[in-house]
Structure 1
Amino acid sequence: MMTIQVKNVSRLCHAKPIVTVNGMYPGPTLYVQEGDRVLVNVTNHAKYNISIHWHGLRQLHNGWADGPAYITQCPIKTGNSYVYDFNVTEQRGTLWWHAHIFWLRATVHGAIVIMPKQGTPFPFPQPYQETNIILGEWWNNDIEELVKQGNKLGLPPNASNAHTINGKPGPLFPSYEKHTFAMEVEQGKTYLLRIINAAIDDELFFAIAGHNMTVVEIDAVYTKPFSTNAILIGPGQTTNVLVQATKAPNRYFMAARPFMDAPLPIDNKTATAILQYKGVPTTVLPTLPLLPAPNDTAFALSYNAKLRSLNTPQYPANVPQQVDRHLFYTIGLGKNPCPTCLNGTKVTASLNNISFMMPQIGLLQAYYFNITGVFRTDFPDKPPIPFNYTGAPLTANLVTNLGTRVSKIAFNSTVELVLQDTNLLIVESHPFHLHGYNFFVVGTGIGNFDPKKDLAKFNLVDPPERNTVGVPTGGWTAIRFRADNPGVWFMHCHLELHTSWGLKTAFVVEDGKGPDQTVLPPPKDLPPC
């Protein structure tokens, strides 16, 4: 059993405390092996309620351990504890955990490393060593207070003060010279980097000066290896890369900065860390990598197009070939009246014109115990009024309905979901995360999805398998999955700002007929509301 304590600790150089786990930022790494049963005792000493999500773990029949507050559990109140009890089944690789209430995941997060079963090698060259690289953001002020101020005014909170690599922004930020992560390597050795994007609101480019990276895994699923000089990684995603230390012994910068190809202000803050060859003096000035331009759409699209499932007999890509349920969700931003807000309106976000309202009791509890009046199962399979999704005027503002409405899915049915961006108010990319499942990204494109021509281009052989996928700016993404995990499963944009505006929903996957096809009973220590 792992014990973690969530508490407020003082910041370095700043008076206001932050919320951390076991006093660490980022928090401790959870090391497990495929097939393990895991128990994590979480005790909350912070002033905020807390819940922890084990991002990417499927939690088979066991949504009680998934973690999103008011979806699968009520939060752990200050002074209370909850034991997350779950099994790691047929998964191996890099995932992560984070707070799943308010904006607390800004500082409450850490890596999950799942090693293969004993005696099972990686399907790529064995690295000499491995290192976790967690990309994040940093605020000098209490992020929750900034969010509250923004909500009162109907505005987004202030942007982060810095981006970080393993909690440190690097020497490019004034007064942060001592806060730099460094990784020592030996000439001729191969290293595995487990890269996690824990940022709140930014897709990020990542590169290492003078070194190519070989991508071998995404979201804890092995991929066909390919070499690249940079990667793109969205919030919630993980990417494993191999790096060969075969360059001239020197000090090289690792760097991360945001990707933003929407007509919005670009956050151009670059976080740096150092790849240090053994024996090179620390006085040597590192060289910077050539990162893609912040708005380099072409690189983003070409990089994602290279991602393919390994699809071998040992690690097959079981892509659903037939579809039982077709879903089409439009992503929209709108303005609703707000008399107390600065401009008399506040921004809302919606799927199929529905902005999701969080309930006051966990949806899984309401579903399991048949508590009525908590949610409705009439979320529409398609938008109520079709329109030119990416060609409508930016001033268009469709009526947005507020509600706790979810989709009911039959057990073991196959689902195809097309997520369509729109240019209502703004056109922007969106990283969507589905809890409880992996899915196959069978297609993506720019503009409006056209079933007549786009279906023919779907990759149904070796598409990338993920738990979090980006919907491109002004475009669409299609995913497929088999609904073989009963329970209530959250789906939301992993840009925290958009989630807080209502860009989220949930699936109620019905029980099957067999004893291993039903939701497990709730644990006795499940936090009360």
Structure 2
Amino acid sequence: MITPGQSMDVLLEANRHPSLYYMAASSYFTIADAEFDNTITTAILQYNGSYHQSPSPLMPHLPARNQTQAATRFTKKLRSLASKDHPARVPLKVDTKLFITLSVNLLNCSSKPCEGPYGKRFSASLNNISFITPSIDVLRAYYYRLDGVFDLDFPSKPPNAFNYTGNNLPQNLLTPDFRTKVTVLKYNARVELILQGTNVFEGDNHPFHIHGYSFYVVGWGFGNFNPRRDPLRFNLIDPPEQTTVGVPRNGWVAIRFRADNPGVWMMHCHIEDHQEWGMKSVFVVKDGANPQAQILPPPHDLPEC
């Protein structure tokens, strides 16, 4: 499964009988009674040379749109091209551990019922904090040391632990806090980030992206992440290196990266509605000692928003 905003390099071995072949893709969708694009996108792969072309190329078999097992089988096969001579650069030791829950929330409407579920409207959050975009961007506020724009205390774990993927979750989990909070990382810190999906309101597959970085996906699973058992199964040999990863519906993903790119970097769900609802936050990566490891000043012709 390729999530929204994700890219892949694919090596195709053209070992079939010369002809025309369909390539096809369809949506993966698991939320009942919600609208989605149910079309199938196609392209045709054509062999070079002289041969008898079939008047109707064969269409590949596609799994059902809610077939999580098929998506899981594909995800399990992803590996990097690491070898003994060119090992993956995944951090084997960790300085900073972060555990972040991803939730879709509901809010009361101010005067009359909204058109959303239960007469409410949607919101979204990370560790129960729905990100408020400030009037001055975080990058300029950080560089010029402007006070009052953001707070430095985004929680490294959920403020309240609960059965993240359970059913019939307490109603108080539906309403997040609204803040502009960031996570500060030391330059060159070795970071492990657990992204935990939740069943608050309803679980979903969340394609998660971090600006300015690629990362290694060292583990994933369904249900609640177990900090004692699950790290024993992490792939630290040849994990795939990605810029976007799909957090399974009611599951989790573990990623690792080295914070060697100083600056201010957003992390967010790549479903645009979820991002607009507040499922995003910011990493502030501090400068290193070397001038080449320090944030650059804004260009003189930077346009105002």
Same fold per TM (> 0.5)?
A: yes
1:381 is aligned, of 149, 156, 167, to 156
1:221-246 CA distances to partner (integer Å, 9 max, x unpaired)? xxxxxxxxxxx211121122233444
Alignment partner of 1:259: what SS? coil
State the partner residue of 2:250.
474
Q: CA deviation at 1:314?
A: 5.9
Q: Residue 247 in 1 paired to residue 16 in 2?
A: yes
- Decide which structure has greater strand share: 1
Q: Name the CA distance, whole Å, in 1 between partners of 2:152 and 2:233.
A: 32
Contact 2:101/2:197 (<8 A) preserved: yes
Q: Name the CA distance, whole Å, in 2 between partners of 1:474 and 1:371.
A: 39
Q: CA deviation at 1:264?
A: 5.0
Identity across the alignment (%): 51
Alignment partner of 1:301: what SS? helix
1:407-455 CA distances to partner (integer Å, 9 max, x unpaired)? 1111111111111111011111111001111111111111000111111
4+ long deviations beyond 6 Å: 280-283
**Superposition pairs of residues 103-502 of structure 1, within 5 angstroms:** 232-265=1-34, 267-278=37-48, 284-312=55-83, 315-339=86-110, 341-343=114-116, 344-393=119-168, 396-398=171-173, 399-502=175-278
Aligned CA distance change for structure 1 residues 475 and 281 (closer, same or farther; 3 Å):
same
Contact 1:395/1:425 (<8 A) preserved: no
Q: Name the CA distance, whole Å, in 1 between partners of 2:255 and 2:4.
A: 18
Q: Name the CA distance, whole Å, in 1 between partners of 2:3 and 2:33.
A: 17
TM-score normalised according to structure 2 size: 0.91
> What is the alpha-carbon root mean square deviation over aligned residues?
2.0
Q: Name the CA distance, whole Å, in 2 between partners of 1:457 and 1:474.
A: 19
Q: CA deviation at 1:280?
A: 6.8
In structure 2, the gaps of 5 or more residues are none
1:198-220 CA distances to partner (integer Å, 9 max, x unpaired)? xxxxxxxxxxxxxxxxxxxxxxx
State the partner residue of 1:67.
none
In structure 1, the gaps of 5 or more residues are 1-231
Contact 1:394/1:426 (<8 A) preserved: no
Contact 2:132/2:179 (<8 A) preserved: yes
TM-score normalised according to structure 1 size: 0.54
Contact 2:19/2:54 (<8 A) preserved: no
| Count of residue correspondences | 298
Aligned CA distance change for structure 1 residues 363 and 280 (closer, same or farther; 3 Å):
farther
Q: Name the CA distance, whole Å, in 2 between partners of 1:463 and 1:241.
A: 16
Q: Name the CA distance, whole Å, in 1 between partners of 2:97 and 2:13.
A: 44
Q: Name the CA distance, whole Å, in 1 between partners of 2:282 and 2:214.
A: 15
Contact 1:377/1:408 (<8 A) preserved: yes
Aligned CA distance change for structure 1 residues 282 and 248 (closer, same or farther; 3 Å):
closer
